Each structure stands twice: as C-alpha cells, then as structure tokens.
Amino acid sequence: MPDPIKPRPIDALFGDENAAVPNYVVEPAQPATFVTPPPPDTNPARAPDIVANTETPMPPPPTLETDTEINALLTNIPLPTTEESEDRFTALGERIERLYSEVKIDLPDSKLATEYCFNLLRQARQAVEARDYARAEFFIQLVDAKLKRSQRSIKATRGIGMIFLWVWQLIMLGAGGGLIAMTYVVNLTLFGLPVAPDFIVLLRAMGWGMLGSVIGAFYNLPRAIVWREFDSAYTSHYVARPFVGALLGALLFLLSQAGIVAGTLVIGDVKVGPIFLYVFAFLVGFKQEYVGEFFEGVRRRKTKDE
C-alpha cells in the first residue's frame, strides 16, 4: 500500500508545491491542418486532354456466371406447371375411356379389329401413367383413325359395289378355267387354222395367271371385310386384277421361252409339260403385289446406281 505522506509526482499537476517534479514533459496538442483540393483548370486548351484522360471505359457485357442470372433467364421460358400436367393426364384418361366405349359399340362383330384397338388403348394407358403424353396421343390417334376407317369399310361393304365385285370375280374365275380347258380340245383350231403348241402353252399360262388372281381376290376381300379395312377406292384394283394376272402369265411364258424360267418337265421318256411355268403363273397372279414391289425395287436400285 503506497505511503500517503510521501509526495507523488502526479500531485504537482494539481498545485502541490511539495510534490516531486516529474521527469517527463507534456507537450500541448498540435493544431490540425486542412488540405483543400486545387481549383479546376479553366484553360480551354487543356480541357480536351482532361476530358480524354478522365473518360472511363465501357463495362464488359454481363456473363452468366451466377445462378441468379441463369435463373432470371429461365424464368422467361414457359414450363408446364403441375396443374397443367394433371389436367392433361385427366383429359387423356377420359379420352381413352371414351374410345373404349366407341370400340365396343362400333366393332362388336369383328374380334380381330376389337383386339387390335384394345391393344393400342392399353399401350396408350401405360404411356399416360408413365407421363409420356406424346406416345399416348400417338396410340389414341391410331385408334381414332381405325374407327373412322371401320365406319367407311362397313358402309362400302353394304353397298351394291361389293355384290358387283363378287359377281365379277366369279365371271373371271370361269373365264380363266375356260381358257385352260379350251387348250385341251383335240385338234384345236383358230379361224380354221391349227393352233401351234407354243400358243397353247401361252394360253394356259395366261389362264393360270387369271385363276391365281381371282383366288387372290377371294383371299384378300374377306380379310379386308373382317378387319374393317375395305376401301371402295380399291374397286378398280379388284376389277383389273384378273387381266393383270393374265399379262403376268404371258410374261412368264416369254421368260420360259428365253430359258430363264423352267420349261418342259420330262420324267423318264414322258414329256409332262411346262408344269413349273403354270405353277409360277398361278403364284404370280395370286400375289401380284409382290411382283410390282420387285420391279419397283429394281427401278430404284438402277436409279441409285446412275
């Protein structure tokens, strides 16, 4: 504890004469100095230099370096909301249910067409549940188009044109069979002249081509009716089909004469005849659509090579 009688140096600051004088000096505070900027240069000769030197460059264009800027641009892109997605889900589901009902009403007597439409609707339902709306709409449109074709097919098959087609095919069946049977007449003559053996082969090839075409029409017409795919625009095709078969038979005869198609079949010493020619003529008439596709493919390859 300090001695209260002993003088202290700090007491001299309060006027105590007996206090010991401190050995340090307290200097008074220095006056503050103020700095003022120089006056602007009003010399007009230096003014352009000052302006040129003090001009600031243009800032660079902004870049998408921050999430804020990227989000600001993305907000301008309209994205489907959850509510819109649910509305679309509901609309497609209702449309699928409506098509189920239309199929059962419009195709009650065609099992194949009904199963075909139901299979497409099942795939559409799966696509909707997977939120693949584009694929679902594709299947829905397929079913809708199928129903419209079915309505046109039913209308066409109940008209008089279908009766005409069946009668025409029966007439051509008799014509092809009669052409073949005529060639087996003994001592066949034409305008009083004997018929050459090669001409008889030609007539038989044409007859078998006609028969194949008619059998092909008998095969395709019921299938088109059952599938509800008959189009009245194909009426001319079924009318001309027997004549096309006869022409294809004649073409095969020419190929046989050139040695490209098998000619006369000989078993031992017995000459059976050009059996393979007649078989080919029948098959070509039956599936004459494949012949057209074959020649079309040849034409395309030739055009591509050129």
The C-alpha atoms of residue 28 and residue 290 are separated, in whole angstroms, by: 121
- b/e burial code for range 230-239 (CB count within 10 A of at least 16 → b): beeebbeebe
Residues 170/125, Cβ–Cβ less than 8 Å:
no
**Residue 4 pLDDT greater than 70, yes or no:** no
Band (pLDDT 50/70/90 cuts) for residue 54 is very low
Is the alpha carbon torsion for 174, 175, 177, 181 positive or negative?
positive
**Residue 86 pLDDT greater than 80, yes or no:** no
Identity (one letter) of the amino acid at 287?
Answer: K
More confident residue, 83 or 199: 199
Residues 145/120, Cβ–Cβ less than 8 Å:
no
pLDDT attached to residue 122: 93
Q: What is the pLDDT of residues 205-263, one digit of tens each?
A: 999 999 999 999 999 999 898 888 888 888 889 999 999 999 999 998 888 887 776 66
Q: Which two tokens stand for residue 1?
A: 């504890």
**Residue 268 pLDDT greater than 50, yes or no:** yes
Q: Which residue has the tokens 């074709």?
A: 149
